[in-house]
Amino acid sequence: MTENRLARSTSPYLLQHKDNPVHWYPWGPEALAAAKAENKPILLSVGYAACHWCHVMAHESFEDASTAEVMNRLFINIKVDREERPDIDQIYMKALHALGEQGGWPLTMFLTPDGEPFWGGTYYPKEAKWGHPAFVDMLEAVSRTFHTDRERIETNRSGLLEALKTEITPTAPIDRSLMMAAGERLLSLYDPEHGGIKGAPKFPQASILDLLWRTGLRAGNDKAKETFLHTLRQIGNGGIYDHLKGGIARYSVDHLWLVPHFEKMLYDNGQYLDHLVTAYLATGEDLFRNRIEETVGWLLDEMRMEGGAFAASLDADSEGVEGKFYVWTADEIADVLGEEDAALFAKAYDVSPGGNWEGVTILNRLKAPSLSAKEEARLARLRKKLLERRSGRIRPGLDDKILADWNGLTIAALARAARFVSRESCLEAAQSAYDFVMETMMHDGHLGHSWRAGRLLLPGFASDYANMMNAALALAETCPEEAMTYIANAEKLGKALVEDYQTAEGAFYLTAADAEGLIVRPVTSADEATPNPNSMAALAFAKLYILTGKTEYRDLADKVLIALSSDIPKNVFATASLLTAFDTRTNGRLAVIVGPSGSDPNPFLKVLSKTVDPALHCLVLESTDDLPEDHPAKGKNALEDKTTVYLCREGACSFPITRRKELEEALTVIS
């Protein structure tokens, strides 16, 4: 039977292609069986719903009947949503890198009927240009080679399979000097004027920013800390930020943070929110507080789905044009605001008759980051008017699938924002999203990865378990009454992670033991736009050790870090989050605040927040009697009905602290 089989999918990305004349299969046994039966190579196309160049290739080629005829005649065609199946994406993207290609999406790979890669690329234009052959010419050449030059296919196939093998070679534990050297190396890559890594395009690089901040703290390096803050200021003032509604786009195509690739991803904004909290605590700047409020508002208004969890992304395109929903002309702004107000707005937001990008204006504050308080109040009113006008435009598409791992990142950030910014809606949102994932996305005690339209994709990935562990632990620190319940939930997730995903060396495979068989079982130490699952697992187990005192969690964190430590010197840029986990493991401390019912822990919490140390954790309890037996603070309760703090580290706790000044002095020692 020849047909497009994507209509039965739940992935919004696959459904975008359900009416293509291409006879698409989703990934699965049916497609592989067809390739073997017909002795055809497989054309694997991987993308995601918010991907601009995926749309371009679809419009040019996959919607074109003549191109589809060639694809259908010569190949078995498989379409994959990389967000729904990161395991498949990771395997074949690694194969593309082994071919010497930079990578990106759409990912276009050519496979044997057994699913083994032998050639590939990314976007192929319909007509030859930019040094790329025409897509149909490429298809015919690949098919011809597959059937007539099997020796060449075999050489490529065997070489790529060898490159896909993962050898875990545990070495000595990571040491502090490696972390400091990595921080210095990464700092040297930063743009001192515009922030971010030098050159273009500019990505937020969340994992690298995390490490930069931590090494700045540990080394007392003010330049590293200021680089972190400067980068966040530039992002918050740049065109990559949505100045009318909040939230950041995926990246900036230039070196100024001015012109975004307009898609808005949940994972970017979860990590961005966490960084904004750190920056606000460190500086008290209105810019960071405003961006927190605006970004949370965008998450709650536009990304929160029925049930409380968050959707995956907003598209870059609307009406077939990238960025059309977000850009403005000077005339339209004047029409909405009137001449006088439009003049003020133009001064603040870089509006000009000729525009700042392809004849239109991307709103930004790079040239006028701050005006007087009176002008800023007036600008806030003007932004509301423009937002109301924008709301009447045709909106970008929403990828409304719910991913457990991306929600975990966002839940943790919202919980932290709730602790330090005192916005009640942050905590409510974090808890409701957490409850959705832990209830609706659980099946027989196993966590799923993706949920949409009542269907759950099982089994989940290591990233789902690790990120939801960290989400649970963030809520444990934010919700004193339920702290022990959240910690217990994290322990259950950790137990399942170890049972179903752990390698013999102590790291974690991406896929579960009972997952569908692929040509390899991927395990990685490399960060992508999100921190890699091994880093997040090591971080979660390190935090569990800090919060519970149970040495089994210390040992699990150490196993991951030792197993993958040899990867770090090879590429500190791609393994920054492993060093972040190492920092929490070795510099992690816990403040246990114990007070009688009705006592106020806030004076001590304010002191703790001023340290802006992400490795410093906190539990607020009425009694330490509920702590695990292994915990060093067990039985150390409030003195004389006074709120009392114990600083604990590596199985030992400080003397009881009952005054703010004592706590400030105890925290001055930076490890």
| Poorest-pLDDT segment among 147-151, 167-171, 247-251, 363-367 | 167-171
The residue among 71, 78, 88 whose CA lies nearest residue 24 is 78
**Residue 421 belongs to some domain of the structure:** yes
Residue 671 pLDDT greater than 60, yes or no: no
Final residue in a domain of this structure, among 392, 408, 426: 392
Residue 171 pLDDT greater than 80, yes or no: no
Q: Could you give the CA distance from residue 511 to residue 88 in angstroms, rounded to a whole number?
A: 10
| HSE (side-chain half, CA atoms, 13 Å) at 601 | 25
Residue 182 pLDDT greater than 50, yes or no: yes
What does the chain come to in residues?
671
Q: Which domain holds residue 85?
A: 6-164
Report the share of the chain in percent with pLDDT over 90: 90
Structure tokens at 63: 């919607």
Q: Which residues are 121's β-sheet partners?
A: 108
Residue 670 pLDDT greater than 70, yes or no: no
Q: Could you give the CA distance from residue 348 to residue 368 in angstroms, rounded to a whole number?
A: 5
Mean pLDDT of 189-215: 97
Q: Could you give the CA distance from residue 164 to residue 157 in angstroms, rounded to a whole number?
A: 11
Q: What is the three-class DSSP state of 201?
A: coil
Q: What is the DSSP letter of 58?
A: I
Residue 421 confidence class, pLDDT cut points 50, 70, 90: confident
Do 331 and 408 lie in one domain? The reply is: no
Mean pLDDT of 206-216: 97
Q: Could you give the CA distance from residue 346 to residue 328 in angstroms, rounded to a whole number?
A: 11
Identify each DSSP E strand in 20-90 by its residue range: 24-26, 42-47, 76-81
**Residue 171 belongs to some domain of the structure:** no
**Per-residue pLDDT tens digits for 369-391:** 999 999 999 999 999 999 999 99
Phi, psi for residue 127 in degrees, rounded to 5? -110, 150
Mean pLDDT of 257-265: 96
Do 16 and 59 lie in one domain? The reply is: yes
Residue 130 pLDDT greater than 80, yes or no: no
| Poorest-pLDDT segment among 172-176, 197-201, 285-289 | 172-176
Where is 589: in which H helix or E strand?
A: strand 589-594
**Residue 1 belongs to some domain of the structure:** no
Residue 168 pLDDT greater than 90, yes or no: no
Do 517 and 446 lie in one domain? The reply is: yes
**Residue 267 belongs to some domain of the structure:** yes
Q: Which amino acid is at 401?
A: K
Mean pLDDT of 154-164: 94
**Per-residue pLDDT tens digits for 510-559:** 999 999 989 999 999 999 999 999 999 999 999 999 999 999 999 999 99
- The position carrying tokens 């971080």 is 539
Q: What is the DSSP letter of 567?
A: G
The residue among 167, 140, 163, 151 whose CA lies nearest residue 70 is 140
| Number of domains observed in the structure of the chain | 4
CATH code at position 21: 3.40.30.10
Structure tokens at 333: 């702004």
Q: Could you give the CA distance from residue 177 to residue 156 in angstroms, rounded to a whole number?
A: 40
Q: Name, in order, each residue with C-beta under 8 angstroms of 173's C-beta and a sequence gap of 6 or more.
A: 558, 561, 562, 565
Q: Is 454 exposed, middle or buried (0-12, 13-18, 19+ CB in 10 A)?
A: exposed
| Poorest-pLDDT segment among 167-181, 300-314, 611-625 | 167-181
Do 575 and 506 lie in one domain? The reply is: yes
Cα three-residue angle 666-667-671, rounded to 5 degrees: 110
Q: Could you give the CA distance from residue 200 to residue 260 in angstroms, rounded to a whole number?
A: 11
- The position carrying tokens 């890559």 is 189
- The position carrying tokens 């809520």 is 475
Final residue in a domain of this structure, among 105, 138, 164: 164
Q: Could you give the CA distance from residue 100 to residue 112 in angstroms, rounded to a whole number?
A: 20
Residue 2 pLDDT greater than 80, yes or no: no
**Which is it for the CA torsion 415, 417, 419, 421, positive or negative?**
negative
Q: Could you give the CA distance from residue 474 to residue 416 in angstroms, rounded to a whole number?
A: 7
Cα three-residue angle 454-458-464, rounded to 5 degrees: 100
Contact 232, 279 (CB under 8 A): yes
Do 553 and 610 lie in one domain? The reply is: no
Where is 644: in which H helix or E strand?
A: strand 644-649
Q: For helices 462-478 and 404-421, what crossing angle results, to 10°?
A: 20
The residue among 579, 565, 462 whose CA lies nearest residue 208 is 579
Structure tokens at 13: 């990305």
Do 191 and 252 lie in one domain? The reply is: yes
Mean pLDDT of 459-477: 98
Q: What is the three-class DSSP state of 392?
A: coil
pLDDT at site 599: 81
Final residue in a domain of this structure, among 587, 607, 633: 587
Residue 286 pLDDT greater than 70, yes or no: yes
Q: What is the three-class DSSP state of 362?
A: coil
Q: Could you give the CA distance from residue 291 to residue 242 in angstroms, rounded to a whole number?
A: 10
Do 411 and 532 lie in one domain? The reply is: yes
Q: Could you give the CA distance from residue 636 to residue 658 in angstroms, rounded to a whole number?
A: 13
Do 262 and 404 lie in one domain? The reply is: yes
Do 133 and 154 lie in one domain? The reply is: yes
**Per-residue pLDDT tens digits for 569-614:** 999 999 999 999 999 999 999 999 998 877 888 899 999 988 899 9
CA end-to-end span of the chain, whole Å?
Answer: 65
Structure tokens at 275: 């960084």
Cα three-residue angle 426-432-590, rounded to 5 degrees: 60
pLDDT at site 512: 96
CATH code at position 417: 1.50.10.10
**Per-residue pLDDT tens digits for 617-650:** 999 999 999 899 989 999 999 998 899 999 999 9
Cα three-residue angle 442-444-445, rounded to 5 degrees: 65
pLDDT at site 598: 75
Q: What is the DSSP letter of 323?
A: T
**Residue 671 belongs to some domain of the structure:** no
Structure tokens at 373: 């308080």
| HSE (side-chain half, CA atoms, 13 Å) at 500 | 23
Do 143 and 181 lie in one domain? The reply is: no
**Residue 507 belongs to some domain of the structure:** yes
Q: What is the DSSP letter of 529?
A: S
**Per-residue pLDDT tens digits for 16-59:** 999 999 999 999 999 999 999 999 999 999 999 988 899 999 99
Q: Could you give the CA distance from residue 10 to residue 13 in angstroms, rounded to a whole number?
A: 9
Mean pLDDT of 312-327: 94
Strand order in the sheet with 313-314: 264-265, 313-314, 398-399
Helices assigned H by DSSP within 75-110: 86-98
**Residue 574 belongs to some domain of the structure:** yes
Residue 258 pLDDT greater than 90, yes or no: yes
Do 283 and 240 lie in one domain? The reply is: yes
| Helix, strand, coil distribution of the chain in percent, nearest 5 | 50, 15, 35
Query: Taking phi first (over 0 means left), then psi (-120 to 50 degrees means alpha), and beta for anything else, what does residue 595 get?
Result: beta
Q: What is the DSSP letter of 396?
A: P
**Residue 462 belongs to some domain of the structure:** yes
Do 571 and 620 lie in one domain? The reply is: no
Q: Which amino acid is at 49?
A: A
How far is C-alpha 447 from the geometric centre of its chain's CA atoms? 19
pLDDT at site 199: 96
